[in-house]
Amino acid sequence: MSAQPHARVDAAVSGVTTSAAPGAVEVLGRISAALDDLPAHRPVAAKVIAEADDHRSDARSLGRTLSADPALVAKVLRLANSAYFGLSGRVSAPAFAVTVVGFSTVRSLAVSAMAGLDEVPEALEGFWERSVLTAVAAAEFAPRLGAKAPDAFSVGLLARLGQALLVRCDPVEYPRLVAGAADREELLAAENRRYGAHHTRVSAEALAAWAFPDDLAQALAQVDRAGWATPLATSVRLGLELSERILDPARRPAPADLLSAGHVRDAELDAVRAPVTRTAAELVQLLTS
């Protein structure tokens, strides 16, 4: 890969606060190196990511590239045949599958493969369940906020990518942070103390390093930052909130109207809890089988 990925991630390293624990710069430096090293382990996935961002690519060419990675193409085909996309059992060609699920989703699945998320570390138990719940919920609210549902699904699916990178590059201490946090908010605070950055920021840096469209990476960077956020970032905020409400009912909920600047109320968020849960359960099974 070019020097550009290092430049982007080095910006995160240089932004580590002085209150971060000793070794934080070293850990973020390992992440920077990993973002350059990982493509070599899944070269087809890396090529899919690059082609998905190339305006000269089409579904046929991307489907041909995808076909060179049997595990990845099988995952895309299973997803395309899910009830979520409404074509159950009718998608058999990779090119058609790319058309059905969209370039954004194919790109996100390729990132997951490249990051080694086919086998999620024990420390991140429930990773896929949370990620898919976030993706489905974000896509649900995106249209009413003025964002594209496929982009919201894609960004929601990768919002926790930074956790996988942190556990890979800080395998002793990061699992302790996860185990010691009572909820997502406590985890974000603990990450900030140790690294001077939380996992959604690391996720955003990864998307930028792997040449995702700027608006997707920038939206993810805004998700856990106070203040105004784009419609796409707001969709993912709501997706993260709903996923936590579903999986951690004892947690104190964050008001939906504050997360969405008044566009979505708590009652509206809770109204889609059941359908989002059902859809996510199906997709998790397809993506982890």
Question: What pLDDT, in 10s, does the model give residues 213-245?
Answer: 999 999 999 999 988 999 999 999 999 999 999
- pLDDT value at 48 more than 50: yes
SS3 label, residue 125? coil
Q: Given the structure tokens 């939906």, which residue do they identify?
A: 256
Q: What is the DSSP letter of 20?
A: S
For 37, 221, 240, 246, 278, the CA distances from 184, given in Å and listed in that order, are: 29, 16, 9, 13, 22
What distance in Å separates the CA atoms of residue 150 and residue 146, rounded to the nearest whole number? 12
pTM: 0.91
pLDDT at 13 (0 to 100): 44
For 100, 137, 245, the CA distances from 86, given in Å and listed in that order, are: 9, 17, 27
- pLDDT value at 26 more than 90: no
For 3, 60, 217, 221, the CA distances from 159, given in Å and listed in that order, are: 24, 28, 10, 9
pLDDT at 53 (0 to 100): 83
If you compute the radius of gyration of the chain from its CA atoms, what whole number of angstroms results? 18
Domain boundaries along the sequence of the chain: 123-288
pLDDT at 119 (0 to 100): 87
- pLDDT value at 105 more than 50: yes
DSSP element (H, E) containing 135: helix 127-145
- pLDDT value at 7 more than 80: no
Instruction: Compute φ and ψ for 148, nearest 5 degrees.
Output: -85, 130
- pLDDT value at 268 more than 60: yes
What CATH number should be reported for the domain whose range is 123-288? 1.10.3210.10
pLDDT at 222 (0 to 100): 96
